[in-house]
Amino acid sequence: SDEPLVIFTPSGKRGRFAVGTPILTAARQLGVDLDSVCGGRGICSKCQITPSYGDFSKHNITVREDALSPWNSVEQRYQDKRGLKEGRRLGCQATVQADVVIDVPPESQVHKQVVRKRAEARDIILNPSTKLFYVEVAEPDMHDPSGDLERLQDAMREQWQLEKVNADLHILQTMQPILRKGAWKVTVAVHLGDQENPARIMHIWPGYYEGTVYGLAVDLGSTTIAAHLCDLQTGEVVASSGTMNPQIRFGEDLMSRVSYSMMNPDGAQEMTRAVREGMNGLFAQIAEEANVDPILIMDAVFVCNPVMHHLFLGIDPFELGQAPFALTTSNAIRLRADDLDLNIHQSARVYLLPCIAGHVGADAAAVALSEAPDKSDDLMLVVDVGTNAEILLGNKDKVLACSSPTGPAFEGAQISSGQRAAPGAIERVEIDPATKIARFKVIGSDIWSDDPAFEAEIANTGVTGICGSGIIEMVAEMRMHGIVDAPGLIGTAEQTGSPNVFPDGRTNSYLVYDGTASGGPKITVTNRDIREIQMAKAALYSGARLLMDKFGVDKVDRVVLAGAFGAHISPLHAMVLGMIPDAPLDKVTSAGNAAGTGARIALLNTEARAEIEATVRAIHKIETAIEPRFQEHFVNASAIPNAVEPFPILNS
């Protein structure tokens, strides 16, 4: 054929098209991902492309300067009003004249890659639930009477192949003046539907709507609620914010909240109200920060543990407080914002990820979505460390899950000088092998405590305590330098050779920092603190070890530490302590807030929802409480690093 050849990059898709074919049309026929909201009318500029000229010996073609049609009036008008970047053309206006190579820049792709993960994890492609469509609607006709909605539906079918998109009452109540104001040209936000819900009109604007629509990815934790506001057209996070979970006043940890609901007749409702109010406060704040009208927030994804899940939905968590820990439902849940009294667009779609089991929630499902052990060739151990550790072990053949009650020690609670991670908290520790004296860094500063500049550096906060990662490093360092023995006892100053050890009741303690001269605290590690850390790490380790038994392995290929806290743990110290199984240190990585990333993935890619639902159904749940081996592992794991397990890689 002597029709011109059109080659698209980066997809490499190619085909021959008649002279005069718009590039947008060629792209559609070849299945090239080129965006358009206005349907080729030269209004939206989403279809921008960059033609390349010159010799393409690889493709055996030469692209002439006149390979595309010259600018037409529509393109010129767009250029005059808004301006196009150098070298860009509107794909719906430029037509093929001769062989040409067309680059589709990332911002013109609908399904762009958005969540850029670490090298070992996959990339996420944008595929949002709600999209914008510009349509031209037929005017009403006395001779052929039909409703405005029906003509709008006809237009969406003809212009966008959208079948039977229905409208909620609030749309019917407002659509007539909007259609007339836009002179029968409108932009429609359509929720494209899912397994359970047909497509629906979310919002209508007169004429071409220049703005965008948004979604929220929310990680509802027992202590904090964190939200990311995302642009559903670009996938970008436009604002992130967090707030304390107001339920804290009903109990610090989950079980105390469950018992609050048992002891108080309206306890569960009170907590439901509190968390929804907190959530609305956070949403208002984040919308204001990003200067976004909350009505433009049309989709929201939530991840949380089972107790938070029930309380957020207004379900009494009573059954989760006692064996056999039955969930009301473990399936994913699809609702509307007004079902949950959320002050975003009233018909905004709300999606809660599925729960894995009574103790392993939608947050763990989100971690699985983010870290994808089910797609890994390597055997991966994924640990989300919190007051409850959620543990996943698996590869592409199978994935096992359990939770383990680590308690709050890793968050600095129940530690004599412990505190939450905040400026002033000790987070990094090193003990000098010769002097056996500790030096440290606090959150908010990069200067070690033995640097002369340290006191001036921390003048604002002072040294206030030790946070979770700090206490882990502290205990591990004490073990590495012979100050603590394998069973967890601090030796005397004489035995250990450390001037910082002092007798403290019937045991010994270690002085980390003495700020009393300047009115600050004295920060010590007591033998009870060591005990608390031993209990917490033993719970974590024995959960992981139990899953390894069930899998029939005694080593793992990779360890991923997830959770805000996990991000700050030093892999070496975690292993010295025996928190995690022996593994090559370079195979122990931190995934940061993987649950939050999972929520963002489910928000931006609706196909990921079906995917995680299938994955969760296939995950084998192990209940640690009824496994006799768990106790045995726990006892062994109380020693540092372990009474029976060798750590061959660590020791080499």
Interacting residues toward ligand FES by CB under 6 A: 24, 36, 38, 40-47, 90-92
Query: Among residues 46 and 203, whose Cβ is nearest to ligand FES?
Result: 46
Query: Among residues 47 and 536, whose Cβ is nearest to ligand FES?
Result: 47
DSSP 8-class letter at 357: B
Whole-angstrom distance, CA of residue 300 vs CA of residue 602 = 9
Query: Among residues 24 and 162, whose Cβ is nearest to ligand FES?
Result: 24
User: What does the block give as tokens for 492?
Assistant: 């005397």
C-alpha count within 13 angstroms, C-beta hemisphere, residue 557 = 9
**Residue 507: which H helix or E strand, with range?**
strand 507-514
Query: Among residues 45 and 445, whose Cβ is nearest to ligand FES?
Result: 45
**Residue 394: which H helix or E strand, with range?**
strand 389-394
Whole-angstrom distance, CA of residue 453 vs CA of residue 296 = 49
Nearest distance in Å: CB 157, ligand FES: 19
Peptide linkage before 641 cis (omega within 30 of 0): yes
Query: Among residues 46 and 441, whose Cβ is nearest to ligand FES?
Result: 46
Query: Among residues 213 and 379, whose Cβ is nearest to ligand FES?
Result: 213
Query: Among residues 111 and 396, whose Cβ is nearest to ligand FES?
Result: 111
Q: Are 527 and 389 within 8 A, CB to CB?
A: no
Nearest distance in Å: CB 47, ligand FES: 4
Nearest distance in Å: CB 272, ligand FES: 45
| Start-to-end CA span in the chain (Å) | 67
Whole-angstrom distance, CA of residue 314 vs CA of residue 273 = 8
Nearest distance in Å: CB 382, ligand FES: 42
Nearest distance in Å: CB 48, ligand FES: 8
Alpha helix (H) residue ranges in 385-467: 454-457
Residue 428: name the closest of 444, 440, 439, 445 by CA: 440
Query: Which amino acid does the sequence have at 380?
Result: M
Q: Are 389 and 651 within 8 A, CB to CB?
A: no
Nearest distance in Å: CB 293, ligand FES: 24
Query: Among residues 35 and 473, whose Cβ is nearest to ligand FES?
Result: 35
Nearest distance in Å: CB 43, ligand FES: 5
Query: Which amino acid does the sequence have at 348?
Result: A
Query: Among residues 46 and 257, whose Cβ is nearest to ligand FES?
Result: 46
Alpha helix (H) residue ranges in 14-88: 23-30, 73-81
Nearest distance in Å: CB 41, ligand FES: 6
Burial of 80 from C-beta contacts in 10 A (0-12 / 13-18 / 19+): exposed
Nearest distance in Å: CB 170, ligand FES: 28
Query: Among residues 107 and 289, whose Cβ is nearest to ligand FES?
Result: 107
Residue 213: name the closest of 295, 327, 269 by CA: 295
**Residue 286: which H helix or E strand, with range?**
helix 267-290
Question: From the centroid of its chain, how far is CA 645?
Answer: 34
Nearest distance in Å: CB 72, ligand FES: 12
Nearest distance in Å: CB 45, ligand FES: 5
User: What does the block give as tokens for 651?
Assistant: 């020791």
Query: Among residues 160 and 541, whose Cβ is nearest to ligand FES?
Result: 160
CB contact set of 138 (below 8 Å; sequence gap of 6+): 151, 154, 155, 184
* 156-185 residues labelled b (16+ CB within 10 A) or e (exposed): beebbebeebebeeebeeebeebbeebebb
Nearest distance in Å: CB 75, ligand FES: 9
Please list the residues that pair with 124 across neighbouring strands.
115
Whole-angstrom distance, CA of residue 103 vs CA of residue 34 = 10
Q: Are 428 and 444 within 8 A, CB to CB?
A: no
Query: Among residues 36 and 590, whose Cβ is nearest to ligand FES?
Result: 36
Whole-angstrom distance, CA of residue 222 vs CA of residue 509 = 32
Query: Among residues 41 and 334, whose Cβ is nearest to ligand FES?
Result: 41
Residue number of the CB atom closest to ligand FES: 92
Query: 3-class DSSP state for residue 94?
Result: coil
Nearest distance in Å: CB 155, ligand FES: 16
